[in-house]
Chains A and B, each alone.
Chain A
Amino acid sequence: MEKETKAFQRVYTKLYQLTKATVSLKATGIGNEELAIVDGRLAQVVKIMDDIVTLQIFGGTEGIATNAEVIFAGKAPSLKVGDDLAGRFFNAYGDPMEGGEIMGEEREIGGPSVNPVRRKQPSEFIPTGIAGIDLNNALVTGQKIPFFADPDQPFNQVMAMVALRAKADKIILAGMGLTRDDYLYFKNVFDNAGALDRIVGFINTTEEPPVERLLVPDMALAAAEYFAVEKHEKVLVLLTDMTLYSDALSIVSNRMDQIPSKDSMPGSLYSDLARLYEKAVQFPDGGSITIIAVTTLSGGDITHAVPDNTGYITEGQLFLRKDSDVGKVIVDPFRSLSRLKQLVIGKKTREDHPQVMNAAVRLYADAANAKTKQENGFDLTDYDERSLEFAKEYSRKLLAIDVNIETDEMLETAYDLFATYFKPEEVGLKQQFIEKYWKNKS
């Protein structure tokens, strides 16, 4: 059954096959990845075999009958982009949550990648005030970096804090499987900070079907590309939570009868994630897209397919950890890494930054060894005792996520701690820095 409605819309009413996530029907002249509406639900073409077209229904197929109306849209999923986006929250389909229309130009999402030779090497420091990040793992515009965190850790709070302090022109929040509470939290925090006009949100909450999530990051990144390419703005994209996004990928691949690879994830997981993360870019004309993501771990296991593939794609990772000695959540200095920090520390920040950073982490490692010794019942030396004391203060004054100070102050604080617990030769800084910065410490 086929009838013509609008110029490029064709309507069908006979389904050939129904599964939990897909429907198939006889149709001709349909393009790959084209959108359709099946019984009022959004769907996308995922397979065409002769005249049989298979559609993935984002909202699930519950209740769809074999005589459901199928309308093909003649285009791939798209988003209307324009300045009108700012300050608003959208669902996974790019429709404003509070209703209304968006004025703007329609763009296909999941578009092509930037030609590598048109990129610029990232070089702009993003201060966040959190010393565990700025001092030890400085972020750079155009970088992509996830938080690897257990579900009970306050990653969304930290991310909101980072976003607000990052001095970005636009913050684009892509919420995938966000609890409604967390969604409202983000909204409130941004509202209270008076930053709502810089925010664009694309939200799929746990109340909505999981497969819808697959559209969210592409929507967010399409919006990000508009602001970065056309408005030359510094855009920060927050992706939370990429593990839930990957779960949605595995649901779809499972229902498409694909052979799963490690941890029941699709074999294409690496490419699927890389396609999103690689949208992070520094353009020569000043526009940039920086991605901060969240990958939740189960029991801290980073060998699981999602964090593992993510680690190979992103430019470092940030670990949060509860430090029971000081009772605070800290940014773990050992396991966290920002691969791009070398591009800015000591260059965009004070010259002694790399040395101070390394020295402090090294002393913190000495403290960790001393702690092991202590736990195993071996005697501690005077140096061990001092490094343990240092570690507590370092944790409290610098690593804790509630720290909010300028980078220079972080360095000064580090010297204060060095001078309190150590002799210069135990810290191993270059002589010139000791003379310049240590001298005035007690």
Chain B
Amino acid sequence: MNTIGNVTGIIANLVIVETEGTTAQNEICFIKHGDTRLMAEVIKVVGNKSYIQVFESTRGLKVGTEVEFMGHMLEATLGPGILSKNFDGLQNDLHKMEGVFLKRGQYTDPIEIDKKYKYKVLAKQGDKVVAGSWLAEVEENWIPHKIMVPFTFKGEYTVKSIKGDGEYAPKETIAVLTDKDGKEHNVTMVQKWPVKVPIRAYIDKPRPFKILETGIRVMDTLNPIAEGGTGFIPGPFGSGKTVLQHNLSKNAEADLVIIAACGERANEVVEIFTEFPELDDPRSGRKLMERTTIIANTSNMPVAAREASVYTAMTIAEYYRAMGLKVLLLADSTSRWAQALREMSNRMEELPGPDGFPMDLSAIIANFYARAGFVYLPDGESGSITFIGTVSPAGGNLKEPVTESTKKVARCFYALSQDRADSKRYPAIDPIDSYSKYLEYPEIAEYLNKTIDENWTTSVFKAKDILLRGKEAYEQINILGDDGVPLEYHIRYWKSELIDFAILQQDAFDKIDASSSLDRQNFMLQKTLEITDMDFEFDSFEDAGPYFKRLINALKQMNYSVYESDEFKQNKKELENVLNEQKERTSASADEHQKTEEVKA
């Protein structure tokens, strides 16, 4: 029998309910407002009063209205049929909603429990299984979707019976398991899991030891993110966060991409589901939408469901990770989620922390990022969730609480710079401020040097050094004037510009340049460093700029052409021609120098 209560207070979407029965923190309840039922979550209990946040508008709600507590937390429904869907923050299938406008109190099934799937059995009678063990698989799009022992099962079970190959619907019982006490449990293809609780159906979670290729040079080459790693992208508005996230979702080498559009523009979600069904996944050749799932709580949708949206997205990611898949989870933007927490904390009249955010903001962010990771599964396979969140710092100031709290936990920091965005140097990731802690992991360094090039990490640090020295030279030139500094400063600056244009900058809207393979990145890095290692001679600083611009142009043309194509080779030849001018000159002057020395001798 569910606990029943009555509304006694309403402040926006915070509602106070009086009840004599039992209620629990984070328990889900429904307010019976007329013909509709409004979903809400318990966020505080004082005596016989439960404070609930309503996931919908509370307009017209009256004191005395009946509330029914459901005895469970907010749960995600996990089973075949999740892929390629557009859900709201509470996992309602947006396509099943009636009408142009979202009606409150309308909840739709996330998956189709009657749809038949082609099913192949994996376990057999008598097998010993645990939570997360694979029992069978069905075809969901192109993914062999594993039917697993529910994550709620504790300890070891024995398969008593299991259905053979065939076609079944998610609601059908496919296996019967017996626990150690001999009690029987029916298993269907669908299970539920509370979104705020991490799914721990794995054997081990090691430190990440390989990288996730994103195709974005400034990330992969300079600050790689590990498979199963975490990163975040803070940036003021207009610095290209959205384009970068979309580019990641298009080109990253992941099996699945889950996008939590949390409190952002609706038209950005529209862009994804308009364009992704048309775009090809460069790796699988299928349509991008087939590997993409969207959890949309756009900025005009109920604020309380924003928090739910990121947890729902993470839970779905964990579910697919348990199938041995490589999942990329993107959340845009975690600041909106933090703001939702702040609004509620304010309404509950809690003492505020910095900038009015709740005191436990840091802990909430840390716990969330900790759910990502690379794991070994019960069946010996591995899976991963790589998580990248964006942060929208107020006023572009990186010293605000959400950025600072995230910086403590995320291992990669991709700082978007307003200056770079203003000068159209995209992606506007600042090469000096940004970092990847993974480059310092010995296991990652070993992996990189083994898979890309034996001197890879050395080269990367060298490139970073050139960028830093170039920046210093540039500052000197700005202070002292073009002719107030030695020519060497100009050359140093232009060498860093070379890396900036050839490696850092990448055209997200160009078919070829949008994504760059590791092979290609290796080639470009080596080529660029080869140039920066050279000595250059100019009559005056005025000649250095135009010369380096020619080199940059040749390198850019290479980036715009298909790797190792004739066009690419032609552009490379062009580059060599330009380089030869200098090589001849420096060797001529070296000869000259030698001759002078000989004469002297």
Which residues from chain A sit less than 8 Å from chain B, CB to CB? 28-34, 46-51, 76, 108, 111-122, 142, 229, 258-262, 267-268, 270-271, 274-275, 278-279, 281, 283, 303-305, 308-309, 311-313, 315-317, 334, 337, 340, 342, 365, 376, 378
**Minimum C-beta distance from B571 to chain A (A):** 16
Q: Which residues of the partner chain B approach A278 to less than 8 Å between Cβ atoms?
A: 265-266, 298-300
Known: A229-B100, A278-B299. A50 touches B265 (CB 8 A): no
B11 touches A279 (CB 8 A): no
Q: Which residues of the partner chain A approach B352 to less than 8 Å between Cβ atoms?
A: 259
Q: Which residues of the partner chain A approach B59 to less than 8 Å between Cβ atoms?
A: 31-33, 76, 108
Interface residue? B104 (CB, 8 A): yes
Nearest A-chain residue to B336, judged by Cβ: A270
Q: Which residues of the partner chain A approach B270 to less than 8 Å between Cβ atoms?
A: 116, 119-121
- What total of A-B pairs shows CB separation below 8 Å? 164
Nearest A-chain residue to B296, judged by Cβ: A116
> Per-position contact with A for B93-136: 1 when CB-CB < 8 Å, else 0?
01101011111100000000000000000000000000000000
Which residues of B334-357 have CB atoms within 8 Å of chain A's CB atoms?
336, 339-340, 342-343, 346, 352, 355-356
**Minimum C-beta distance from B34 to chain A (A):** 10
Q: Within the complex, which residue of A119, A303, A365 is in contact with B266, where a contact is CB–CB below 8 Å?
A: A119
Nearest B-chain residue to A342, judged by Cβ: B509
Q: Which residues of the partner chain A approach B100 to less than 8 Å between Cβ atoms?
A: 114-115, 118, 229, 283
Interface residue? B8 (CB, 8 A): yes
A115 touches B356 (CB 8 A): no
Q: Within the complex, which residue of A49, A117, A267 is in contact with B356, where a contact is CB–CB below 8 Å?
A: A267
Q: Which residues of the partner chain A approach B298 to less than 8 Å between Cβ atoms?
A: 113, 116, 278
B296 touches A268 (CB 8 A): no
Which residues from chain B sit less than 8 Å from chain A, CB to CB? 8-12, 16, 57-64, 86, 94-95, 97, 99-104, 236-238, 263, 265-267, 269-271, 273-274, 296, 298-301, 303, 336, 339-340, 342-343, 346, 352, 355-356, 392, 394-397, 422-423, 481-482, 509
A116 touches B86 (CB 8 A): yes
Q: Which residues of the partner chain B approach A312 to less than 8 Å between Cβ atoms?
A: 237, 392
Nearest B-chain residue to A303, judged by Cβ: B395
Complex Cα–Cα for A178 and B481 (A): 49
**Minimum C-beta distance from A266 to chain B (A):** 8
A270 touches B299 (CB 8 A): yes
18 inter-chain pairs at a CB distance below 8 angstroms, sorted by A residue, are: A32-B58, A32-B61, A34-B60, A49-B8, A50-B8, A108-B59, A114-B102, A115-B99, A117-B95, A259-B352, A267-B356, A271-B339, A274-B299, A278-B265, A281-B266, A315-B267, A317-B238, A337-B238
Nearest A-chain residue to B352, judged by Cβ: A259
**Minimum C-beta distance from B341 to chain A (A):** 10
A50 touches B58 (CB 8 A): no
Q: Which residues of the partner chain A approach B422 to less than 8 Å between Cβ atoms?
A: 334
B343 touches A50 (CB 8 A): no
Nearest A-chain residue to B7, judged by Cβ: A48
B339 touches A311 (CB 8 A): no
Complex Cα–Cα for A28 and B64 (A): 9
Q: Which residues of the partner chain A approach B271 to less than 8 Å between Cβ atoms?
A: 121
Nearest B-chain residue to A316, judged by Cβ: B238
**Minimum C-beta distance from A371 to chain B (A):** 15
Complex Cα–Cα for A34 and B95 (A): 32
**Minimum C-beta distance from A433 to chain B (A):** 17
Q: With contacts A270-B339, A274-B300 known, what are 14 further pairs, Cβ within 8 A? A: A33-B58, A46-B12, A48-B10, A51-B63, A113-B301, A114-B100, A114-B266, A120-B270, A262-B395, A268-B339, A278-B266, A311-B237, A337-B238, A376-B481
Complex Cα–Cα for A283 and B266 (A): 13
B343 touches A271 (CB 8 A): yes
Q: Which 9 A-B pairs have the closest CB atoms?
A: A303-B395, A274-B299, A278-B300, A311-B237, A31-B60, A113-B300, A261-B356, A33-B59, A121-B274
Known: A31-B59, A114-B102, A260-B356. A267 touches B342 (CB 8 A): yes
**Minimum C-beta distance from B103 to chain A (A):** 7
B395 touches A47 (CB 8 A): no
Nearest A-chain residue to B351, judged by Cβ: A259
Q: Which residues of the partner chain B approach A268 to less than 8 Å between Cβ atoms?
A: 303, 339, 343, 346
Complex Cα–Cα for A209 and B296 (A): 38
Complex Cα–Cα for A9 and B423 (A): 62
**Minimum C-beta distance from B217 to chain A (A):** 22
A121 touches B267 (CB 8 A): yes
A311 touches B238 (CB 8 A): yes
B299 touches A313 (CB 8 A): yes
B356 touches A111 (CB 8 A): no
Complex Cα–Cα for A343 and B538 (A): 45
A112 touches B62 (CB 8 A): no
Known: A48-B10, A303-B397. A315 touches B265 (CB 8 A): yes
Complex Cα–Cα for A121 and B276 (A): 13
A47 touches B11 (CB 8 A): yes
Q: Which residues of the partner chain A approach B346 to less than 8 Å between Cβ atoms?
A: 258-259, 267-268
A112 touches B394 (CB 8 A): no
A274 touches B263 (CB 8 A): yes
**Minimum C-beta distance from A10 to chain B (A):** 13
**Max chain A CB contacts within 10 Å: which of B58, B62, B509?**
B62
Q: Within the complex, which residue of A28, A32, A113 is in contact with B60, where a contact is CB–CB below 8 Å?
A: A32
**Max chain B CB contacts within 10 Å: which of A30, A108, A283, A308?**
A308
A50 touches B9 (CB 8 A): yes
**Minimum C-beta distance from A52 to chain B (A):** 9
**Minimum C-beta distance from A143 to chain B (A):** 8
B101 touches A76 (CB 8 A): no
Q: Which residues of the partner chain B approach A342 to less than 8 Å between Cβ atoms?
A: 509
B267 touches A115 (CB 8 A): no
